Amino acid sequence: MTMTTDKDNPDSGLLRRWVQYAIENPRRVYRVLFYVAIVFFMVTTLFPFYWLFVLALTPEGQLLGGGYLPDIELFGLSTTFPLPVPQGFNPEAFIAVFEQLPFHLYMLNSFVLAISTTVIVLVIASLAGYVFGRLEFAGRVPLMLAILAISYFPPAAFVVPLFEAFTGNTPIVIPFTEIPLFTPPRLLNTPGAMVMPFSAIFMPLSIFILTTFYAQIPDGLEDAARVEGTTRFGALFRVIMPLSAPGVATAAVLTFISVYNEYFFSSIMATSPDAANWSPIVGGILSFQTQYTTQYNLMAAASIVAVLPVVILVLIAQERIVSGLTAGALKE
């Protein structure tokens, strides 16, 4: 465009006319800028997934050959195609993922850990959410601040004593004294060693989400149930929780995704990346990286398989995730 304005021909006014038009119609320019921005964000967020597909479909022999960015002829000009393309078509990698390692078992472990943590968190956080959302009592604010503060601590601050405790060799001692409490069983390589820390670190978010939702149920509904003769628990589980179903679903989805995505305890509390040791997908994918060091197509295929459940969950439960992250997390 700049070239044409330099020359003195009838086209010279093109840029000037375009600028003139833009000044007169600034909305058009904003519209264009808006579409440029949205395309940019779509491409940058989705590109890594596309690259995984490119690698997963490329046959193993072609992986190191390069040439992912082919040269193409465009209007007589030779340019580099801006998107990488697969070097062949080999969907068998998606089957090999399950043959070389029992990847389905790692996935199953992840699901079991995520679902059991979600159930525990929902039950305990419901009780706490009811208390913080609906009861006035001494110490409410300091207790909420304490739970908030605990949720900020890094997992690294918990791991040394927890690993020691889950090894089960030495009795638990009250800190700064020598009074032994009890000797814990050996929990390493069992679901317990992961579900317990997961529940503790992901519970505060659910408590805050449920507190918000339970506080919104009108007192009259609970009072009516109580006049009818329900117990306090009855009112919580038969009136308040069903009426706050969206809140409970939000807390469940966020807890499930958080556990499924967790890395720190998942990689430490299973002492070897072995499906028999309850190692979740973290162990499975790292095994491909360390054992099959050049089979990049398998690493990519395993990643695609393992990411599918959360992608589907995001597409289904988008509204819940957004409301939970904004309502709950702005408080966190």
Least distance from another protein to the Cβ atom of residue 235, Å? 10
CB of 12 to another protein, least distance (A): 29
Contacts of 255 (CB under 8 A, 6+ apart): 114, 117, 118, 121, 122, 202, 205, 206
**Shortest distance (Å) from residue 104 CB to another protein:** 16
Q: Which residue, 2 or 177, is less far from another protein as judged by CB? A: 177
Q: Which is nearer to another protein, 74 or 173 (CB)?
A: 173
Distance in Å, CB of 198 to another protein, minimum: 9
Closer CB to another protein, residue 77 or residue 135? Answer: 135
- Give min distance, CB of 7 to another protein, in A: 33
DSSP-derived secondary structure letter, 185: P
Pairing of strands 77-80, 71-74: antiparallel
| Shortest distance in whole angstroms from residue 92 CB to another protein | 19
Strand 77-80 relative to strand 172-173, pairing: unpaired
- The first and second tokens of residue 252, run together, are 């469940």
Please say whether the beta carbons of 205 and 151 come within 8 A. Answer: yes
Residues 6+ apart with CB under 8 A from 181: 171, 172, 173, 174
Please state whether beta strands 71-74 and 180-182 pair in parallel, antiparallel, or not at all (unpaired): unpaired
Closer residue to another protein (CB): 1 or 123: 123
- Nearest residue (CB) to another protein, 14 versus 72: 72
CB-nearer residue toward another protein: 14 or 36: 36
Closest separation in Å from C-beta 99 to another protein? 19
What CA–CA distances, in Å, run from 305 to 54, 266, 309?
14, 19, 8
Nearer to another protein, 60 or 92 (CB): 60
53-67 as b/e: b if 16+ CB within 10 A: ebbbbbebeebeeee
Could you tell me if residue 186 is left (phi over 0), alpha (psi between -120 and 50 degrees) or otherwise beta?
beta
**Cβ–Cβ contacts within 10 Å for residue 221, how many?**
13
Question: How far, CA to CA in Å, does 235 sit from each of 46, 98, 127, 160?
Answer: 46, 48, 12, 42
Q: How far is the CB of 268 from another protein (least distance, A)?
A: 7
Choice between 76 and 175, CB closer to another protein: 175
Could you write out the DSSP letters of every residue in 2-20? Answer: HHHHHS-SGGGHHHHHHHH
Contacts of 330 (CB under 8 A, 6+ apart): none
